[in-house]
Amino acid sequence: MKENKIRTNHFGKTGQIVTRVGLGGEGVLRTTGKQEDAHRVIQSAVAQGITYYDSARVYSDSELYYGGIWKQDPETRRRMFQTSKSASRDKNGARKDLEETLQRLQVDYLDLWQIHDVRTFQELSVISGPGGALEAFMEAKEEGKIRFIGVTGHHDPDVLAEAVRDFPVDAVMMPINPVEEVIGGFLTKTLPTALEKGIAVIGMKIFGGGHYIAPHLGLTPQLLLRYALGKPITVAIVGCSDTSEVETLAAAGRIEQPLDKAEMQKLIAPFREDAGRLAFYRGVM
């Protein structure tokens, strides 16, 4: 029924449409030797109607788990938006990552390939310089091995904002959570830069690796997801450990009403005192 469908968004200026919640490449997917559990999670996400699927070359067996599903049902794969990432900073390393990623996923192309976890301005110079990874990304797009290019980061909002401005990217992945509301940076610098450029925005670190979930304070997965989805982002991704977590993720994608001001203030309040420590993913602050 229509009311049970997950809401969707345009993926930036690409012409593609994705569900506004996606399955993250972590959780049970960032493991080894848990194929049955991982397959149940992926199959549950497909059954729930989720179309965005995250992974990375360095996420343990995440790509292999997806590959086992897509090989069995290539028609379903073609309807999904499959992504992965490379953390290599040079062209040759990135090309090697892509070939291995395609083999592991058992696919001919990626919908989105992302420059993974940029942290410093020096990295940006290496990536975009002669023989840098960006050359591999652009060539792969020309060759049809990938459809779109993205960049991700969760350490320095200024670095990620510069990557968004200067790189030919179709998407950016960044932290979207109440800690960022308090300390600023990704929400006040990177996000506006992405919106100005018109590219897709992928929200990560929604639960802060689970550290932000505190039911006794009213901080539930549902509330944190509603917070993220209330921001002007394209899709919020969460790594899931079991099918019940997939159901929670999908249910959040069906909710239309954003948090009101009172709910927002109540959500942010517990983070104000210790936001610096809670932004652990940024490194030392």
pLDDT in tens, 220-252: 999 999 999 999 999 999 999 999 999 999 999
Banded model confidence at residue 266, pLDDT cuts 50, 70, 90: confident
Dihedral angle computed from the Cα positions of residues 269, 26, 225 and 184, in that order, rounded to the nearest 10 degrees: 50
pLDDT for the residue numbered 145: 98
pLDDT for the residue numbered 47: 97
For the chain, list the domains and their CATH numbers: 7-282 (3.20.20.100)
41-65: average pLDDT = 98
Closest CA to 202 of 240, 149, 251: 149
Convert the pLDDT of each residue in 85-128 to its tens digit: 999 999 999 999 999 999 999 999 999 999 999 999 999 999 99
% of the chain at pLDDT higher than 90? 90
Predicted model pTM: 0.96
Banded model confidence at residue 1, pLDDT cuts 50, 70, 90: very low
Convert the pLDDT of each residue in 5-21 to its tens digit: 999 999 999 999 999 99
pLDDT for the residue numbered 182: 95
Closest CA to 197 of 162, 229, 230: 162
Least confident stretch, 64-73, 159-168, 266-275? 266-275
pLDDT for the residue numbered 284: 57
Q: Residue 52 has which token pair?
A: 């965005």
Contact 234, 13 (CB under 8 A): no
Q: Which residue has better confidence, 212 or 261?
A: 212
pLDDT for the residue numbered 3: 53
Convert the pLDDT of each residue in 153-191 to its tens digit: 999 999 999 999 999 999 999 999 999 999 999 999 999
Q: Which residues of 98-118 are buried (b: 16+ CB within 10 A; e: fewer)?
A: beebbebbbbeebbbbbbbbb
User: Who's near 257: CB < 8 A, 6+ residues apart?
Assistant: none
Banded model confidence at residue 2, pLDDT cuts 50, 70, 90: very low
What mean pLDDT is reported for the chain? 95
